[in-house]
Amino acid sequence: MPTYEYECQKCHHRFELFQSIKDPPKKTCPKCRGRVKRLLGTGAGVIFKGSGFYATDYRKPSYRESAKKEKTSTPSATSSGDSSSTTPKTGGNKVSTPKD
């Protein structure tokens, strides 16, 4: 159900009303009982949920190509051939529990 914004013609009180599309428009102000006018609303904000939509989805092809080139030309720390590491290697994720 949408939220409608109204303004009183007499006291200029502005208020919002949460009502069904099928409901008739409000005619009187809740403050002074004067006539109200329904204003044009801005609508609800758009909320993108889930995966699959990103700001770069609809960019120009030239932007995508340059972004790909930049991504592939940047060397990552894990791709280096250095085998020495500061984290000790263990034999998996096994947890030993003491037996009673």
pLDDT tens, 21-62?
899 999 999 999 999 999 986 666 666 666 666 665 666 777
Q: How many CA atoms lie within 13 A of 34 on its CB side?
A: 13
- 59 within a domain of the structure (yes/no): no
Q: What is the pTM of this model?
A: 0.42
> Is 70 part of a structural domain of the chain?
no
pLDDT, tens digit (0-9, with 9 covering 90-100), for 68-100: 888 887 665 555 555 554 555 555 556 556 665
In a domain, 71, yes or no: no
Q: In whole angstroms, give the CA distance from residue 38 to residue 11.
A: 15
Structural domain for 8, as ranges: 3-38
Q: How many domains does the chain have?
A: 1
Of residues 30, 49, 54, 27, the one with CA closest to residue 38: 27
Query: Does 23 reside within a domain?
Result: yes
* 6: Cβ contacts below 8 Å, ≥ 6 apart: 14, 15, 16, 17, 26, 29, 36, 37, 38, 39
User: Would 34 be classed as within a structural domain?
Assistant: yes
